[in-house]
């Protein structure tokens, strides 16, 4: 029971696509109703962790969190007292396992089409689950297979100076539940992050020459080598902004190439250009230098520059310059789903944010 006296449970609307069409996993519960898998949150579990565990235990299906759907509060009589519960539901993509229901808890589990799921929820389901079904099915109908794409492009970021090991543990657990692209942490936490993500598709990312880019080339290369030794699989390196603005593009290209060589094929390298401090001609020159240096991504911002972070204009320009040869990462001030989708439409293939779980929320007016 939580501090507010509520009993918390978590579960979700699980989906898959079969021959291009969405199907939803529903259960037949012990009381004859069509429902969704859910169960009690245990110990210090995150709500998302509890939802995935309960889905796996009740139905045999492994999933990843795509987005929160709804929190449903209800009460029921237990002996002579009233128990108040709040059920947290998530939209969950099936990524593994196979349907085999937990016979001691539920009568059955099966995938059905969205129309059948909607009908079953209305005719055989619980009234307080109707909004959960409605929000989830609406997202599947509108977005199709792209409904879960945003989460797979997020670099879940924790670069605050005051971040603690427990904070790092939390963002790693969140990233595992949502299967974000990576967790990006300061170099001191790379080893902890890499160990926390073992067995997960989520990558360990760190920063080099951060946040000013004013370290020497030798220092940046050594940072890169140590980060890789500690388990980093992605390196976000801040370019020498002063050298670029002074017109020494060759220096920028050489320092980035040194980091690529230090990574030695064991990590992808993203060049942070700090686009808010540059004009369009400088952004283009920096992007071309990064391309020539052999990096894998160009990235807009550190998030620490007072001048600003990612913009649609900067992302569009970067995509025009590098074409399909490099990824483009938009970071700095990306805090809403709408903003993230606008950046993706402009050409971003990664989104750096410290607000990952909030970013994937399904707005009433979704951008698809």
As annotated, the active-site residues are 236, 299, 329
- Decide if 298 contacts 275 (C-beta within 8 A): no
- Decide if 118 contacts 147 (C-beta within 8 A): no
Cα–Cα distance for residue pair 109/105, rounded to 1 Å: 11
Which structure tokens are listed for 288? Answer: 């071309």
Rounded alpha-carbon distances, angstroms, from residue 7 to 69, 74, 366: 19, 10, 31
Query: Residue 109: which H helix or E strand, with range?
Result: strand 106-113
Rounded to 5°, angle at Cα 89 from 85 and 92: 155
Rounded alpha-carbon distances, angstroms, from residue 135 to 106, 132, 290, 365: 24, 5, 42, 11
* Cis ω for the linkage preceding 342 (within 30 of 0): no
């Amino acid at each position: 029971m939580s501090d507010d006296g509520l009993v918390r449970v978590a579960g979700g609307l699980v989906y898959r696509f079969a021959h291009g069409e969405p199907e939803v996993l529903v259960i037949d519960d012990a009381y004859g109703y069509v429902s969704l898998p859910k169960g009690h949150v245990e110990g210090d579990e995150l709500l998302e962790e509890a939802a995935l565990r309960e889905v796996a235990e009740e139905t045999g299906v492994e999933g990843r969190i795509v987005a929160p759907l709804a929190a449903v509060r209800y009460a029921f009589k237990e002996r002579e007292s009233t128990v108040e519960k709040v059920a947290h539901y998530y939209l969950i993509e099936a990524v593994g396992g196979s349907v085999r229901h937990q016979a001691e808890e539920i009568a059955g589990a099966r995938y059905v089409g969205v129309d059948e799921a909607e009908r079953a929820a209305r005719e055989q389901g619980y009234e307080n689950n109707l909004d959960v079904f409605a929000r989830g099915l609406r997202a599947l109908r509108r977005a199709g297979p792209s409904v879960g794409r945003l989460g797979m492009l997020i670099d879940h970021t924790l670069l605050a100076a005051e971040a603690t090991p427990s904070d790092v543990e939390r963002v790693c657990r969140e990233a595992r539940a949502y299967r974000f692209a990576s967790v990006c942490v300061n170099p001191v936490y790379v080893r902890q992050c890499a160990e926390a993500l073992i067995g997960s598709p989520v990558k360990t990312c760190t920063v080099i020459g951060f946040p000013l880019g004013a370290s020497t080339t030798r220092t940046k290369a050594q940072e890169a080598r140590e980060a890789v030794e500690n388990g980093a699989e992605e390196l976000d390196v801040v370019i020498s902004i002063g050298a670029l603005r002074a017109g020494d593009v060759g220096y920028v290209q050489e320092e980035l190439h040194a980091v690529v060589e230090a990574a030695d094929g064991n990590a992808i390298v993203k060049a942070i250009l700090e686009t808010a401090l540059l004009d369009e001609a400088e952004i283009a020159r920096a992007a071309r230098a990064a391309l020539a240096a052999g990096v894998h991504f160009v990235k807009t911002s550190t998030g620490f520059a007072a001048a600003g972070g990612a913009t649609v204009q900067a992302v569009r320009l970067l995509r025009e310059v590098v074409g399909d040869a490099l990824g483009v990462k938009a970071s700095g001030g990306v805090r809403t789903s709408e903003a993230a989708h606008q950046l993706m439409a402009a050409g971003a293939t990664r989104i750096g944010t410290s607000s990952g779980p909030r970013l994937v929320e399904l707005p009433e007016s979704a951008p698809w």
